[in-house]
A and B are shown apart, each in its own frame.
Chain A
Amino acid sequence: GAGVSQSPSNKVTEKGKDVELRCDPISGHTALYWYRQRLGQGLEFLIYFQGNSAPDKSGLPSDRFSAERTGESVSTLTIQRTQQEDSAVYLCASSLAASNEQFFGPGTRLTVL
């Protein structure tokens, strides 16, 4: 298990439901990032963790979005009361430390009906 893993790989939900997306970073990586990629667009930064604290949450689009991280391990991104505009691929990346090369997971494709 050398790479970043994410689950689920696909999630279809109804508008108004809550969803939880999971990221398992590479072991030993202290920095963890969440990005969002809407169809036909580049990646947008959402939030950055250093250990289990989040020094930069500037990319979270609204208060319906939240994230947490347990130590230097798993992170979950939660979207409450999902809206259709939340449909996107959510990508997680980790790095040994901030400002190092980031390794990306395969992403979770979220579809809100």
Chain B
Amino acid sequence: AQSVSQHNHHVILSEAASLELGCNYSYGGTVNLFWYVQYPGQHLQLLLKYFSGDPLVKGIKGFEAEFIKSKFSFNLRKPSVQWSDTAEYFCAVMMYNQGGKLIFGQGTELSVKP
């Protein structure tokens, strides 16, 4: 079965540190890729997405992600985190022609210390 793996369960950083959250998926066909974020007490919202074209995509709040097809990866990055980035981050994969259902990773909880 297709799966999505997020390497880190909980990441703790100080403000201004750089962030990279890993995401790998197991599916050899065409995919759309997403990162969703859930801030404390709020519902899931889209951070960024990749459908096609430039494999380096930019999202809201200074986040970016790079799709590396050969590595089946879609890692999330931010050069300098802020306390307000404290949240849970979910990577998700949508397989082409599968009706749009998302396969989610387990999530990574990010805590940023002020």
Contact = CB atoms under 8 A, between A and B. Distances in A.
Given A42-B90, A99-B94, A33 B43 contact: no
Interface residues of B, number: 24
Dominant SS among interface residues on chain B: strand
Interface stretch (B14-22, B71-79, B100-108): B100-108
B44 interface: yes
B104 A42 contact: yes
B80 interface: no
A33 B102 contact: yes
Interface in B35-58: 36, 43-46, 49
A50 B46 contact: no
A102 interface: yes
B50 to A, nearest CB: 11
Interface range, A side? 20 to 34
Contacts of B94: 99
Interface string A20-49: 000000000001010100000111110010
Interface of A: 31, 33, 35, 41-45, 48, 50, 55-56, 59, 91, 93, 95, 97-107
Given A31-B100, A104-B44, 13 more contacts: A33-B100, A35-B104, A41-B107, A42-B6, A42-B107, A45-B103, A48-B99, A48-B100, A56-B99, A56-B101, A101-B46, A101-B49, A102-B46
